[in-house]
Amino acid sequence: MRKSFQLSFTILIVFTIVVLGVVGNVEQKSQDWCWSVVNKDRCLQKECESLCLKKNPKGKFICAPSTPGGPFQCQCRHPCR
């Protein structure tokens, strides 16, 4: 009797963890992301990262050229409001 209870309890815990993970993943994917330019003159990695995190703690940065062959600018991806 004790072993079957322990097995049932373990299966219940594993199932709960899987369900919570799936729900969290769905909520994360449904979030819309926006891009904004935080520095259009130059893109230094540390500076860009700092500016992006100041704009939004969940922000992710990328250095990308403004035009083909043009100067790199710091762009920040963050959740839309």
Over the stretch 23-63, which tens digit does the pLDDT of each residue have? 666 666 666 888 888 888 888 888 888 888 888 888 899 88
Domain presence at residue 41 = yes
Its domain, for residue 75, covers 33-81
pLDDT band at 6 (very low <50, low <70, confident <90, very high): confident
Q: What is the pTM of this model?
A: 0.53
At 76 the pLDDT is 92
Domain presence at residue 11 = no
Domain presence at residue 69 = yes
How many structural domains are present in the chain?
A: 1
Domain presence at residue 60 = yes
Counting beta carbons within 10 angstroms of the beta carbon of residue 74, is it exposed (0 to 12), middle (13 to 18) or buried (19 or more)?
buried
DSSP character at residue 7: H
Domain presence at residue 5 = no
Domain presence at residue 20 = no
Domain presence at residue 63 = yes
